[in-house]
Structure 1
């Protein structure tokens, strides 16, 4: 009895922690504390031979199933009519108003209220229908044809945001939601997967319709819930009441759900959802608009296929398929060789796509693309960047071979493979490397040498033999005026800009050097901490890893970079020619504030302050602003379209400020 009571207590405690971690994104304990309790429960289950029905140990996936059993839904799961234009949405709303007015004219003693609306995200995953009897999860199924689906209870039990028991215990209910794979989880899974998954939608659907529940568990799926489709004992007056019921019963409800009295507000909200679509950590393919009042829904009823009280507004696809035509190879600043795919032109997210990234040779092999020329491939576009090829539509190696180069496509130097990447080590005489190094060195956030464009850097390389940034400080007026397209004014402007750059601060100089794996925030951390170039150049990995924003890989990159005799010679040459690399000015002591002593990460778009202004204000209050989220981070400020950094902060349990007004208020306290 003591063992059973202990197990019941542990199950209740662990399920409470799971609910706060996976559903509320509010961890109550550390992973270490959770694991200790979980191990204690596992040991007791092994000792007693008893596993309680709602034990979290049942989420790891059981034995291989022989097949899917059909499940007849207690109430139909309806499809939604779809709109892809504003005109279609307006026509739908006009029809809703007309039907309400018609009903009210015939029933003046019991009229329907004026329509109000709820807007929700339309998730791009697999529909789930969960059945609970007396508070226990007794069945889970796919949508199927809307009347009969496939039973997938064992698979769904592996989703940790799905409650195995709920407080409501008065009969049977069916709850609908969407099984998804978060994009950050997909990316992490593909880092080590023998067979990378092509996209998050297929990954979720494939996991839930897999006869091996352990495979489902490995994919670490998530789920959001949005409807009670059947209940034998409870009714709701409106949508808000139903959502409150779901939350009270520990179902994960997405944070985006908006209610409106005016349909023009609905149209505006749809535009805002499209703007923030790329920042979400999961796929959506639109939004769903519903009439909120349940009695009105009942009166409006259904067509043969769709409810009249709801409609889905479909966004333009961010994923599609096209033909992979060819692959070319580009040389970057560090000598890295990057493949660029040419595809058959296709419309995607409002633009015509012809070029796609393939990342590296390792990526090509992992995605089964080595023999993909001339075949159909999946592509995805997000965040207005060049689209990425996700994989072949079929698994057969039935296309032409993508031939990996042995020598540099620019200079002919033999290539070296490091990990998944190919590199050209001819940094002294490989034109693309040299030109991009000089262009980066002269960029605004680096040495800010105005008028030194890509074209000018290429001309200086070809006609004045400028092979490294240090050579810029030896250029003369007489050399420049002899060049094509260089008059006296342009020559003087460039020389003035080069001379002015000598006074740039230490952080800008470090960023200009192009140290691998470092960005502006890291070089600023280095400058603020060491305050001296020589000290940075002689720092050890151990010393560097004590700083925020610097882990083992970054520390190794910095030490390796400054140990290179070529880099040392270039730096000494610049210092001899007058480059100051000035240490940061000593800040006057700051008064204690909410931010004093905290390591802060800014992510997303702020509207009241620019990123640089926010950084300056935070540092003036004694905060350290870094560029990446880690266990050393104390606080994350998340603006609009905050993406993976916000997700990681929540995973690590780091405090987040998502209200910009609150952030500005704290800055001024």
Structure 2
């Protein structure tokens, strides 16, 4: 074959493979076949010195660019008016209907149709405006000020879902979309990167890559893009939004499948609520949804204000990320002696609440996120799943703030700190008040020994005034001691003593959890209790024996053995047993109610929040039906039951291709509760 014709065929075939793989998710050939054809094209290009304009070899990123070239858009890129609540959204809808009604009253011979609506996801990335001339991609730019943007053609070429050529070859068109980085891609990128190169979030990763003068950096981030609008087209007319979206699909642009169409505005509102609930399950960031009138003639009639189209509006969800000023960092001591930094930030509204405190995890986290010199500077924060927000990193890359000073002595007791990995620890277990109070409070908590009316204030008072230094000391308390305390009195003293007495016969799993064994939680302690059914056997278990149990790896096994080998812990447990504490051994595991039940013999993980039952209730029912309930997802897991706000466990289950039950009605039927 003539080399030029062979190159043309290879380019056409490879671009078709890319389209099916990256846009349609329907691979046509395996990687080996693709690589062979790609290598052959590369060889022909090198031999001939010719590279066709839409060759896929141009996607890898070329030389460092000197700067961005301004690009004037063929048609303006409009901003969207924003609705932060349903009231403002309804006001927009009322105005649009009024404008349509006014027009129809004046033009009865050519009335506009009843409004119909499109609802699209509002991506949180970087707006792209692509220019095609006679079917070839000739320019790509940022939005800029809506009239002039920055030319980023070489960067955009690295996005494999962006077609370098399209079937439409009749003149110029401009296509708008959003460049994004998938969250799974961000996670994989950060897992492979060294600390200083880790990316803060998907939005900034995408924007930073596309505005990076080195296209090779863009290529490494494996961006994607979704397209949603034709801003300019010569001699092309669309009847409605559906026609335009089909035009995009026909021309090999990636269109998000979540676009929905409705004739009734109430259905629009219902869809917005669905999107908000689905938001945390998506593999990309969105900050809202866009509602548009679908009819193109209606759009022309309604037109634009100075800033916004009257026929569309962005419905903004509550922010999960924002920025604010990092004001100070304090250091808190936990029950294990771990020193945890807590950031105080300038108050800011985020996800419906006012945020002033943020977690920083440890000193390693501070260094990894380039926050060592961040006091007084602006930082990104994120809040999700109703937990305390975390600081993601500095807005600026410069060390332009005051230094966060890492403590060398315990902030509570002054004891020298020890660094273990990324954490600082105070080893003064017997003389550090926050550690002592936290251990006693945890011991008495509801999921542990369940000592009613007990609180951290009670633990602090007992420590300071009655020298209670460990959980075992609770069982030595006397009425005369308690009744003399401030805010106690006879009734409160008797109630506390009775609650302490009642706790002596708590079940073995709760007792083990109350001890606070490092790296174990309720699932692990319950499994230990049910497997060994004897406290002495657990205290003498070996690492080799423990790692054979479900959910117990080498780190957890070593933590358990080291805990029970600690003379301080041994003495405390012995003291409690001598004072009458008798952890109750669980009854023998019940035989499955029905051996042919769906869950019999299967390993099941529960995650997220169930609406019609607690997870403990679901776990008990699963065990009655012969299931083994564990706390972590692995290849050994058979089923993952995912409630609302299921997080990393659901993601891992999907990656492993495990069976996932998300429908709670289906779960109730399988649990034989209906």
1:417 counterpart residue number: 419
Shifted more, 569-578 versus 308-317: the winner is 569-578
1:357-392 Cα deviation digits (max 9, x unpaired): 222212222333323333343333333333333333
User: Higher relative contact order at CA 8 Å, sep ≥6: structure 1 or structure 2?
Assistant: 1
TM (norm. structure 1) is 0.83
My pick for the range that moved more, 495-504 or 438-447, is 495-504
The answer for the alignment partner of 1:430 in structure 2 is 432
Show the counterpart of 1:119.
Answer: 119
Q: Which one of 652, 655, 665 corresponds to residue 661 of structure 1?
A: 665
1:499 to 478, 498, 501: 501
Q: 2-side partners of 1:285 and 1:124: how far apart?
A: 6
Q: Which residue of 2 aligns with 1:324?
A: 326
Greater shift, 455-464 or 83-92, is seen at: 83-92
Equivalent residue, structure 1, for 2:618: 614
Alignment check: 8 A CA contact 1:279 1:383 kept: no
Write the distance in 1 (CA, Å) between the matches of 2:501 and 2:167. 74
Q: 1:290 to 1:470 in 2, by over 3 A?
A: same
Instruction: Mark the CA change 1:465 to 1:150 in structure 2 (over 3 Å): closer, same or farther.
Output: same
Q: Is the 2:14–2:38 contact (alpha carbons within 8 Å) kept by the matching residues of 1?
A: no
Could you tell me which residue of structure 2 aligns to residue 601 of structure 1? Answer: 605
- Aligned with 1:579 (options 571, 577, 582): 582
The separation in 2 between residues aligned to 1:72 and 1:150, in whole angstroms, is: 9
CA distance in 1, matches of 2:15, 2:475: 69
* Equivalent position SS for 2:559: helix
Distance 1:166 1:503 in 2: 74
User: What CA deviation, in whole Å up to 9, does each residue of 1:200-239 have, x standing for no partner?
Assistant: 3222200111122332244344444434556679866544
Match of 2:517 among 504, 515, 518: 515
Note the 1:442-453 alignment, pairs <5 A. Answer: 442-453=444-455
How far the C-alpha of 1:330 sits from its partner, in A, is: 0.7
Cα separation, partners in 2 of 1:115 and 1:280, compared to 1, 3 Å: same
Structure 1 residues 269 and 49: CA distance shift in structure 2, 3 A: closer
In the TM superposition, what whole-angstrom CA distance separates every residue of 1:264-312 from its partner, at most 9, and x where no partner exists? 4544655665566567664433332111334433443334543221011
- Measured after TM superposition, the shift of residue 484 of structure 1 is 3.1
Contact 2:131–2:138 under 8 Å retained in 1? yes
C-alpha distance in 2 between matches for 1:131 and 1:540: 67
Q: Alpha-carbon deviation of 1:444?
A: 1.2
1:545-599 Cα shifts (integer Å, max 9, x gaps): 5555444544443344344333334334434433325235411124333333333
Equivalent positions of 1:225-264 (< 5 A) are 225-229=227-231, 237-239=239-241, 254=256, 256-264=258-266
Q: CA RMSD in A?
A: 4.1
- Deviation digits for residues 584-629 of structure 1, max 9, x if unmatched? 5411124333333333333333323333333333333333333343
| Bigger shift: residues 86-95 or 171-180 | 171-180
Using the TM superposition, name which of 420-429 and 251-260 deviates more.
251-260
Deviation per residue, 1:411-442 (Å, 9 max, x gap): 11110011211110111221111111111121
Tell me if the contact between 1:506 and 1:584 (Cα under 8 Å) persists in the aligned partners: no
TM-aligned CA distance change 1:502 to 1:228, over 3 Å: farther
| Residues 474-511 of structure 1: per-residue CA shift (max 9 Å, x gap) | 33444433433333332332233223323333332232
Report the more deviating stretch, 584-593 or 265-274: 265-274
Q: How does 1:47-196 map to 2 (within 5 A)?
A: 49-50=42-43, 61-68=61-68, 76-84=76-84, 86-130=86-130, 140-159=140-159, 162=161, 164=163, 175-182=175-182, 186=186, 189=189, 192-196=194-198
Specify the alignment match of 1:557 in structure 2: 559
Aligned partner of 2:627 among 618, 623, 628: 623
Task: Give distance in 2, aligned partners of 1:386 and 1:493.
Answer: 34
What is the CA distance between 1:453 and its match in structure 2?
0.9
User: Secondary structure in 2 aligned to 1:194?
Assistant: helix
Query: For each residue in 1:119-148, what CA deviation from the matched residue of structure 2 results, as whole angstroms up to 9, or x when unmatched?
Result: 333222111245678998776443334455
Are 1:126 and 1:179, in contact at CA under 8 Å, matched by a contact in 2? yes
- In structure 2, relative to structure 1, the CA distance for the partners of 1:506 and 1:307 (3 Å cut) is same
What SS is found at the alignment partner of 1:510? helix
What is the CA distance between 1:331 and its match in structure 2?
0.2
Structure 2 vs 1, CA of residues 231 and 432 (structure 1 numbering), >3 Å: closer, same or farther?
Answer: same
Is the contact made by 1:281 and 1:643 (CA closer than 8 Å) also made in structure 2? no
Q: Hey, what's the Cα distance between the residues in 2 that align with 1:550 and 1:560?
A: 14
Shift in alpha-carbon separation, 1:613–1:81, aligned structure 2, 3 A: same
* Structure 2 Cα separation of the partners of residues 47 and 197 of structure 1: 35
Q: Residues 345 and 301 (structure 1 numbering): CA distance in 2 closer, same or farther, change over 3 Å? A: closer
Secondary structure of 2:496 counterpart: helix
Once residues 378 and 579 of structure 1 are traced to their aligned partners in structure 2, the CA distance between those partners, rounded to angstroms, is 50
Provide closer, same or farther for how the CA distance between residues 50 and 176 of structure 1 changes in structure 2, counting only shifts above 3 A.
farther
Contact 1:549/1:630 (<8 A) preserved: no
List alignment gaps of at least 5 residues for structure 2.
Answer: 46-51
1:320-343 Cα distance to aligned partner (Å, 9 max, x none): 444333222110111111112233
Q: Which is greater in Rg?
A: 2
> What secondary structure sits across from 1:326 in the alignment?
strand
Q: Distance in 1 between matches of 2:669 and 2:55?
A: 45
Q: Residue by residue, what CA displacement relative to the aligned partner does 1:224-256 show, whole Å, maximum 9, x if unpaired? A: 443455667986654456557767887665565
> Structure 2 length normalisation: TM-score?
0.83
Superposed, 1:203-602 pairs within 5 Å as: 203-229=205-231, 237-239=239-241, 254=256, 256-267=258-269, 270=272, 282-541=284-543, 544-576=546-578, 577-583=580-586, 585-589=588-592, 590-602=594-606
CA contact (8 A) 1:195 1:367 kept: no
Q: Which runs of 5+ in 1 are unaligned?
A: none
Distance 1:632 1:304 in 2: 60
